């Protein structure tokens, strides 16, 4: 197979070597470079994402997948998965990205991953918030922030993946509409307006990240509130200024209605930095 990319000079050949997993729209397999270019030496292992079998003949799913590729082609950020190559015209659509052998944050949580301190968790949150602020600056909303879609690199740094549910915000509207109607994404991490009406603005990502941070603080997947209802109680015992600030941050990120939430990822990042450096 030949992977031709408009982002990188030349071409490189890949061959599949094993399955990695499956998500909402796509399946991912591990591939090895068998003929190289300047950026991709022979033997390099990458991950290839394709539409899942049930979606390959669905025009709406294909449009979302094409949009995901366009988003990754536009963005370049250390905490957002990079586009390494795409399929040749006329082939079934797929793209190649780095291979993250540590897997997802969900796998780390299931294995008992805990942060050494609240400061370490806040630093981790800053990385994700900054990446989302960067994406939002292009008009891209992720719309499916959850531990499964946060990968970990070799240094345990977060990398946001699976932008297939994201959508470009129209210049004249701050509202995000689903193309096929009905809710998408994972209900527990979705804001009420996204899940019930199929639309959200950037505060939908703020809400979802707030739920993820609460989960990380507890060190396990715990549905502490019903989906979409917001987190109004303390996540951590308020025994320190850092814990009290963290509880306030989570409450302000997950307010029930968008107007009551922190309004931007830049504000989330600033608040998390404050906690990290107290």
Of 111, 103, 116, 183, give the one whose Cα is nearest residue 144.
183
Averaged over 64-80, what is the pLDDT? 94
Averaged over 82-102, what is the pLDDT? 89
Residue 171, pLDDT > 50, answer no
Q: What pTM, to 2 d.p., does this model score? A: 0.89
Q: How many residues does the chain have?
A: 278
> With contact defined as beta carbons under 8 Å apart, do 109 and 133 qualify?
no
pLDDT at 9: 42
The residue annotated as part of the active site, out of 130, 144, 201, 245, is 144
**Tokens standing for 93?**
């659509």
pLDDT at 225: 67
Q: What Cα–Cα distance (Å) separates residue 238 from each residue in 207, 241, 276?
A: 21, 7, 16
In the residue annotation, 234 being an active-site residue is answered as: no
Burial of residue 227 (number of CB atoms within 10 Å: 0-12, 13-18, 19+): middle
* β partners of residue 35: 13
Q: What percent of the chain has pLDDT above 70?
A: 86
Residue 86, pLDDT > 70, answer yes
**Tokens standing for 162?**
């699976």
Three-state DSSP class for residue 169: coil
> With contact defined as beta carbons under 8 Å apart, do 116 and 123 qualify?
no
């Amino acid at each position: 197979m030949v992977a031709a990319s408009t982002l990188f000079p030349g071409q490189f050949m890949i061959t599949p070597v094993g399955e990695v997993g499956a998500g909402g729209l796509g399946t991912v397999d591990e591939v090895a470079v068998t003929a190289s270019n300047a950026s991709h030496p022979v033997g390099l292992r990458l991950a290839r994402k394709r539409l899942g079998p049930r979606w390959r003949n669905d025009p709406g799913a294909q449009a979302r997948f094409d949009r995901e590729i366009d988003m990754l082609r536009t963005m370049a950020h250390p905490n957002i998965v990079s586009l390494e190559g795409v399929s040749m015209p006329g082939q079934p659509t797929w793209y190649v990205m780095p291979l993250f052998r540590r897997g997802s944050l969900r796998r780390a949580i299931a294995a008992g991953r805990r942060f050494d301190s609240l400061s370490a968790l806040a630093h981790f949150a800053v990385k994700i918030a900054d990446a989302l602020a960067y994406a939002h600056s292009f008009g891209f909303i992720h719309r499916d922030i959850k531990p499964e879609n946060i990968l970990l690199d070799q240094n345990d740094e977060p990398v946001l993946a699976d932008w297939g549910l994201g959508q470009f915000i129209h210049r004249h509207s701050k509202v995000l509409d689903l193309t096929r109607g009905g809710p998408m994404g994972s209900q527990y991490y979705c804001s009420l307006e996204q899940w019930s009406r199929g639309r959200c603005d950037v505060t939908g990502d703020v809400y979802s990240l707030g739920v993820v941070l609460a989960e990380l603080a507890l060190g396990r997947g715990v549905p502490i509130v019903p989906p979409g209802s917001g987190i109004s109680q303390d996540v951590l015992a308020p025994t320190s200024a850092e814990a009290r600030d963290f509880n306030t941050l989570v409450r302000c990120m997950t307010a029930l209605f968008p107007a009551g939430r922190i309004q931007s990822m830049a504000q989330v990042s600033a608040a998390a930095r404050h906690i990290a450096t107290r």
